[in-house]
Chains A and B, each alone.
Chain A
Amino acid sequence: MSRITNAHTHIFTGKFAPDYFFKVALPKALHGWADEVKAMLESRGMRWLVRGISRSTGKSNMQRYLNFIETGMEESQADVFGKLRGSYTALGSDTRFVVLTLNMDYMGLQRSSHPGIEDQLKEVEELRRDYPDTVFPFVCVDPRHKQGQALVDWVAPMHRDLRFFGIKMYPALGYFPCDPRLTELYAWAEANEVPIMTHCTRVGVFYTGRLREVVPNDSAPCLDTGDPANPVDPELDAINKRLNRFMYNDFTSGKGQSKYGCNLFLNPRNFIPVLNRFPKLKICFAHFGGDDEIMGDPKKVRELGLDTTNFHTEIKELMMKYEYVYTDISYTLFNDKEEVYQPIRASINDPVMGGRVLFGTDYYMTLQEAPEVQLWQLCQTKLQPVLFEKIAVTNTSAYLRSKFFPDPAGTRFV
């Protein structure tokens, strides 16, 4: 088999999360003791205790969660990457990794002293110096950080110098993908065939502030169609209806409901105005909507009547309609049920969208489910070599191909 590419991994550490990121996970009464609680969790004694409890009670989920926390608390991104790479080299694989950075600087709009996205990128660049032929980073953008032409001016040299190979978006952190401040970036990415990766499940990190702070009006900020005669995209009406349902309940107010903000911002249909204007934009909707969406599990968010769409179905529809829309099976691959793998196999075999399903694992988020080696092997077993090679070699190379990086499969970095 040719050299495979894992198109979806993370190596950012907890240091790049805002100070309040840990506090929001604690009850209010403990906020003043956040440092102490964090130190306690970081202590070897506590880890030993949790391991002991999980062994004696046979609760492996505690052990897995501890592995996840430990990886997130690693000293540097190089340490996290070392663990990731080790999982593959141990089995003799020289896999390449798309490393997705994450900008969490605006997830709560509160003041925080954590090192920002620039420092995260700097560390990843240094890592790339050590593994130029293995690490393929994507730069995470956020319209509140840089916007318009300034954003393009920031991103373009990184790609021109082959330091970064694509763009990562995470709308659940508090912005709409159809935000007009991203128009220039989309135009540049489409013109240069630069790939974009966006998070697309109903779970994950999310915006923790008030909805009004990021959406001051009752209408979602949306780029125009590019047609002066008819500038408003028809999908905007549906986006606004969804927004108003959330706005009415203020489901991002941090009253234990803010997690629903994920659903508002990253609904795949929010990309429709973008794809209508830039139909050749190469976008990958990660996780194929999530394993529960594939199985059609009822979600609380649907029960609440906030959002009735099925992300998996929506992604497939977009893939059928727009020929540059991709998806990956990261995280979703952990669920070994046939109800999950059967639709995945069908999609890979589909003549229209089969070339746009990618292999990725979502390391190290998946450590909550299983070790990396186990997931990788599960996926190979479930898909068989032909389909696995298609998504891990052929499709990923096509996805990574851009005007700056025309031959992802053949180029060697020295």
Chain B
Amino acid sequence: MLDNPYLDTIICIVLVFALLSILVSLIVEWWNAKIKQRGVFLQMIVRRILRDDLNHDYGYRIYQHPTINRMRRDGNSYPYYISAEAFSTALIDTIAEDAAKDRYVLSEDGKTATRVNASMNDPLGVRFVAGVVSMNESPMKRLFLNFIDRNSGRQEGEFDVHGLKAELGRWFDDHMDRASGEYKLKLKPKLMGIGMLVAIVLNVDSIHLMKVFMLDEPLRNSTVAAAEAAAGSWSATEGLPDTVRYRVIMDTLATLPDGTTIRTGGNDTTDLTVVRRIVSADSSTAGKDAVEVLDRLNRMQLPMGWDRADAPLSWFTGPEAMAGKTNNPTEAALLQYFDERNEPGLKQCFLWIIGILITGFSLSQGAPFWFATLLKLVNIRRAGVKPKSTTNAD
């Protein structure tokens, strides 16, 4: 076991970043759900892969197909997920429909116009081929013709609709794999913005955190214990979706005792009450999860949140000196640091801004990054994890 206060401090900071990153992810997902961005993004991707300036906007039209249209919650939202099966069914039907144009024929006396749609009697495969053939020449038409070629039998008119459906489904899945990477990239600026917002609203100054973890041994020890538990859960849940892994970590942390700190002075070290009250007003799952993360951070007694006695509010309300109230040298060093920080000054202000910026930027890296980093650091602290036994007792 490597017992190094510097390494422990880094582990503590990384755990804080990881937990706050969960909060950031929850807020971003909640916001995206509010503005229906995931559905809008999926719709944008579907329309992009089917974009054909020389023909119909098939991406738009398959969203009108009942298979997909019925997935919508209301007129202003789009489904978050479309299966390959639903996609290929809707696309085949949509193109087949183009071969079946309505027309009206006037009776001889001109008094009656009757609707005629002869091609509706043809099999689906025949209508799909006719629909593709009726398209204007375009790269999309050539692509569909290739699909038809690959699924045509040797006999004329022989056409495997199921084979075509499967191939279109695979084609769609390939695009979706790439789209998930693009979605993450698209979220980056939002993660950065929300990360900064969380850093400011919760007053999470990374430089301050680092100094407190260095000086406050009981707090450092209790946080490292939490970090080891979190890293263990992260490692044990490998392969599961991130949301499930976060849930397991939160459940594990809930079983640990509250954090301890040597700091005294009549104020809570962490005051997230107001933020918690605001977040708990949202009854969605994301809201409940966010409250749980805030509760956990509160119970860890971390030096964050807004308090009149602490910087930066103390710069305006007047700081209260606390260092002289104790004879314990370790405690005195910590309180001395607090006294210095709570005094208004250009240096303190500059360090606070830098600390907030570091936090905001760090939170934009996402929880998976920080939990993976945490696991590596905890392994170093444990001086390496024992390799898993691959054989039996022999």
| A interface with B by C-beta (< 8 Å) | 15, 35-36, 39, 42, 73-76, 79, 113-116, 118-119, 122-123, 125, 128-129, 132, 160-163, 406-407, 410-414
Contact = CB atoms under 8 A, between A and B. Distances in A.
9 contacts: A36-B35, A73-B76, A75-B75, A113-B44, A115-B57, A119-B61, A163-B102, A407-B110, A413-B112
Contact of A35 (B40, B60, B113): B40
B141 interface: no
Contacts of B53: 116
Given A123-B64, A161-B102, A410 B111 contact: yes
Given A35-B35, A162-B113, A113 B47 contact: yes
A76 B64 contact: yes
B112 A414 contact: yes
Interface in B99-132: 101-104, 106, 110-115
B211 interface: no
Given A122-B56, A162-B103, A39 B35 contact: yes
Contacts of A119: 56-57, 60-61
A413 B115 contact: yes
Contact of B113 (A15, A118, A414): A414
Contacts, number: 79
A388 to B, nearest CB: 26
Sorted nearest first, the 5 A-B pairs with minimum C-beta distance are: A161-B103, A75-B75, A115-B60, A162-B104, A39-B35
Contact of A413 (B35, B44, B55, B113): B113
A128 B113 CA distance: 13
A366 B102 CA distance: 32
B37 interface: yes
A132 B35 contact: no
Contacts of B114: 414
B49 to A, nearest CB: 12
B108 to A, nearest CB: 12
A414 B110 CA distance: 13
A42 B78 CA distance: 14
Contact of B106 (A114, A115, A128, A162): A162
Contacts of A129: 102, 115
Contacts of B106: 162, 411
Nearest to A76: B64
B51 interface: yes
Contacts of A122: 56, 61
Nearest to B74: A75
B48 interface: yes
A412 B51 CA distance: 39
Contacts of A411: 106, 110-113
A114 B44 CA distance: 10
Contacts of B55: 118
